[in-house]
Amino acid sequence: MILAALLFAAHTGNNPIAPFRIVGNVFYVGASDVTSFLIVTNKGHIVIDGGYEDTAPMILANIRTLGFQPRDVKLILNSHGHTDHAGGIDALRRATGAKFLAAKEEAPLLARGGLDDPQFGDRFPFPPTPPDTLLQDNQKVTLGDTTLVAHLTPGHTHGCTTWTLRAAGKDVVFLCSISAPTEYKLVGNPLWPNAVEDYRSSFAKLRALPCDVFLGSHGGFFDLAAKIGHPERFIDPAGYKAHLHRMEAAFNKRVAP
């Protein structure tokens, strides 16, 4: 518990790295481990995740470095309402004027700025950022020539949202997170009585998603460091399956009677 708090306090994985194209119209604009993605369309741009509060200036600088303008970002999406992915969203909204769309199940946590989290309590607050538009499971979000689909994959948070899109003929998956941090109370948590069932249904749902290009809210999920500079390595269906398998095995061990 203390270790996790220290890791968050030190803003692990928040070192600046150079932005780059991943596949088609999908670009990396995040930090060394805390991710952010820019999706370029013919009607403006979409950003997925805002990092920590102090990642937001890096994301904006990365967008400019790639030759795009923050004011052309029209939509901001989120994986989940934790400080390392939602902390920078308020700053990104103010800098871009973009609309913020998020799962209706995640909206209360985002509006509370991470307070009263059913697992983390009040430990990891961030600038509150209530969504402009609430999304349902399987809802499509279209901007110009690009359509993403929101897949509700609860467990890590109630409204944890895994995004998918097709880019350059590939199925791209932005995994929310299927991790269960050690301090999570999975069984017998009065604030989340069906947490185990939620994880199990999300594992099944994630396994069924077609995936060529595996991305997610942390670079560590998809081995970002080893893929930078090697575009072909981002085509990694096996890495996606292996990650899910590893996380599910760890989860099963955690909740085994």
Catalytic annotation, residues? 80, 82, 84-85, 156, 184, 218
d(CA 36, CA 27): 9
Q: Which stretch binds Zn ion (CB under 5 A): 48-56, 81-89, 91-99, 137-145?
A: 81-89
Q: How far is the CB of 80 from Zn ion (least distance, A)?
A: 6
Residue, CB closest to Zn ion = 82
**Residue 109 near residue 158 (C-beta atoms within 8 A):** yes
Q: Is 45 in the site for Zn ion (CB under 5 A)?
A: no
Q: Which stretch binds Zn ion (CB under 5 A): 45-53, 79-87, 118-126, 190-198?
A: 79-87
d(CA 83, CA 125): 6
- Closer of 34 and 56 to Zn ion (Cβ): 34
**Residue 102 near residue 109 (C-beta atoms within 8 A):** no
Q: How far is the CB of 181 from Zn ion (least distance, A)?
A: 8
Q: How far is the CB of 176 from Zn ion (least distance, A)?
A: 8
- What does the block give as tokens for 98? 């973009």
d(CA 161, CA 157): 9
Q: Is 93 in the site for Zn ion (CB under 5 A)?
A: no
Q: What is the distance in angstroms between the CA of the first residue and the CA of the last residue of the chain? A: 22
Question: What is the residue type of 100?
Answer: F
Q: Is 82 in the site for Zn ion (CB under 5 A)?
A: yes
# binding residues, Zn ion (CB under 5 A): 1
Using the 8-state DSSP alphabet, how is residue 33 labeled? S
- Closer of 84 and 212 to Zn ion (Cβ): 84
Q: Which stretch binds Zn ion (CB under 5 A): 38-46, 66-74, 80-88, 116-124?
A: 80-88
**Residue of 81, 13, 11 whose CA lies nearest to 50:** 81
- Closer of 105 and 212 to Zn ion (Cβ): 105
CB-count burial class (<10 Å; 0-12, 13-18, 19+) for 66: middle
Per-residue DSSP letters for 72-137?
A: GEEEEE-S-SSHHHHTTHHHHHHHH--EEEEETTTHHHHHTTTTTBTTTBTSS-------SEEE-T
d(CA 2, CA 8): 10
Three-class SS of residue 99? Answer: strand
- The binding site for Zn ion (CB under 5 A) comprises 82
